[in-house]
Amino acid sequence: MLAKNGGTPVRTKPWVPPFISTEEFNEIEREHVLNVLQKKRVFRFYDKGLEESEAARLEQMYRGRTNTSYGLAVNSGTSALVSALVGAGIGPGDEVIVPAYTYIATAAAVLIARAVPVIVEIDDTLTMDPSAFEAAITSYTKAVIPVHMRGTPCQMDEILEIARRHQLVVIEDVAQANGGSYKGRPLGGFGEAGCFSFQQYKVVTSGEGGMMVTNIPELHARASVYHDCAVSFWGVEPSTKVESFAGENYRMSEIQAALGLAQSGKIDSVVGRLHSVKKKIIDGIQSVGGIQLQRVPDPDGDVSYSLVFYLPDGEKASKFSELLAAEGIPNGTIHNNGFADRHIYVNWDYVLEKRGSTPNDTPWNCASYKGNVQYSKDMCPRSLELLGRAVSVALHQSMTEEDCQDAIDAIKKVAEHSFVVKNATD
Ligand SMILES: *Cc1c(COP(=O)(O)O)cnc(C)c1O
């Protein structure tokens, strides 16, 4: 009998820890951070020991991981995106295409660069629909930001092909997919720039932090200028000479960089464990009737901390979600789960209402912008429909054989007992 109706739940033990990153903390992180304290060198650009700075080593590591020539350590994933956009010369008058399902920071970064975000539909991969991307291109479009949401690699072949044909800059948002790949190549190295976040909810953390990688010297040099309004004074060799302009302060501290180095050394091990966990569960629920697994463009490159499947409609998804939770497997429908999820465009209030920090000269009403982008809560119905009938279960690298089996058994049990199977049309 279903636990909801008084039966024994499949699982009574607590589910997985909430964080991937911090669960890996051990003496390696401690040593790296303590070493910085011992060196008494916490400012990245202090001229003594500049070459061996932790931030420089972190950049080197990400260049290596993504096969790119330049890295820029910054203080957040948002800063990495802004630096990439400004680095690519994107600003007032330009449109940048973003998916309807991404953390609000992706759209905010476009606005901070004073460009206009254009929101497009996702498809059943939960990432940008390439045909929606192409349909949204106007004469003002300068860039596209494919977002590898929940560790799922985007359909990069299609996106790159469209972008090349229209001569658009591609900035990959890898904030949620550090360690992922697409057709054997690491995410972050496909477009003109790749942007990572090291915030606690991501695969690895430095407390706060981010990284931008690129192969383009001008993009890197301009991003460096923007990430530090005084960068040219620190005695660092620029990747190429560019004219200076006012920037912010997005610098990463040496403590963050040291933590980032310790954590990033573990990515492949963490992703390897996640991969085998997800594979086990997928194998176990592959043939369960009534549910349809999320389409993943390259399952081998999936970071694999998120299990998503679709029910035929939102009502069935809510019911399934509730029954599964009662069996001891916490989960959620992605849309309409009772709170304003800031990963879904309908909740990006300042974007939809075109609100700047002051009413004058916002990216939308400034003289340089000649386009006429429109937003509304129902502009991406397909995305809302998909998110509304998606059920997600968080996976963790610490999951044992037994944990995986519990997830399989609970999903099977709910699918078999509930009305879902009987009413399913496919
Ligand atoms: C977390 C996140 C960001 C922003 O990273 P911060 O480090 O929090 O600034 C950007 N895009 C996506 C998809 C994210 O998940």
pLDDT higher than 70, residue 423: no
In the β-sheet with 292-293, what is the strand arrangement from edge to edge? 292-293, 306-310, 390-394, 332-333
In-domain check, residue 173: yes
pLDDT at 296: 98
In-domain check, residue 303: no
Which atom of ligand 1 is least distant from the CA of 79?
Answer: 9
pLDDT higher than 50, residue 420: no
In-domain check, residue 308: no
In-domain check, residue 419: no
Residue 424: pLDDT band with limits 50, 70, 90: very low
Tell me the average pLDDT of the chain: 95
Q: Tokens at residue 133, please?
A: 């991307």
- Residue 72 to residue 213: CA distance in whole angstroms: 6
CB neighbours of residue 358 within 10 Å: 7
Ligand 1: residues whose CB is within 6 Å?
A: 76-78, 102-103, 105-106, 147, 173, 175-176, 197, 199, 210
- Smallest CA separation from ligand 1 atom 1, residue: 175
Q: Which residue in 292, 282, 308 sits closest to 421, CA to CA?
A: 292
In-domain check, residue 118: yes
Q: Tokens at residue 396, please?
A: 């963790």
pLDDT at 77: 98
- 374 by DSSP, 3-state: which? coil
Q: What is the DSSP letter of 154?
A: P
- 363 by DSSP, 3-state: which? coil
Q: What is the CATH number of the domain that holds 80?
A: 3.40.640.10
183 residue type, one letter: K
pLDDT at 425: 45
Q: What's this model's pTM, rounded to 2 decimal places? A: 0.97
Q: Tokens at residue 194, please?
A: 């790749």
Q: Which residue in 1, 200, 169, 173 sits closest to 81, CA to CA?
A: 173
Average pLDDT over residues 206-216: 98
| Helix (H) or strand (E) run with residue 70 in it | strand 70-74
Q: Using one digit for the tens of pLDDT, what is the confidence trace for 234-252? A: 888 889 999 999 999 999 9
pLDDT higher than 70, residue 421: no
Whether the CB-CB separation of 193 and 89 falls below 8 Å is answered with no
Whether the CB-CB separation of 266 and 273 falls below 8 Å is answered with no
pLDDT at 339: 81
In-domain check, residue 354: no
The total number of structural domains in the chain stands at 1
328 residue type, one letter: G
173, 195, 196, 344, best to mutate for ligand 1 pocket (most atoms within 8 Å of CB): 173
Q: Using one digit for the tens of pLDDT, what is the confidence trace for 307-365? A: 999 999 999 999 999 999 999 999 988 887 678 899 999 999 999 999 999 999 999 99
Which atom of ligand 1 is least distant from the CA of 80?
Answer: 9
pLDDT higher than 90, residue 27: yes
- Residue 369 to residue 91: CA distance in whole angstroms: 10
pLDDT at 419: 56
Q: Using one digit for the tens of pLDDT, what is the confidence trace for 122-148? A: 999 999 999 999 999 999 999 999 999
Q: Using one digit for the tens of pLDDT, what is the confidence trace for 81-102? A: 999 999 999 999 999 999 999 9
pLDDT at 426: 41
- Residue 78 to residue 87: CA distance in whole angstroms: 14
176, 334, 341, best to mutate for ligand 1 pocket (most atoms within 8 Å of CB): 176
- 124 by DSSP, 3-state: which? coil
Which atom of ligand 1 is least distant from the CA of 198?
Answer: 7
In-domain check, residue 131: yes
What are the DSSP calls for 230-298, one per residue?
TGGGTTPPPSS--------B-PPPHHHHHHHHHHHTTHHHHHHHHHHHHHHHHHHHTT-TT-EEPP-S-
**What is the domain extent for residue 207?**
27-266
Q: Using one digit for the tens of pLDDT, what is the confidence trace for 378-407? A: 999 999 999 999 999 999 999 999 999 999
In-domain check, residue 304: no
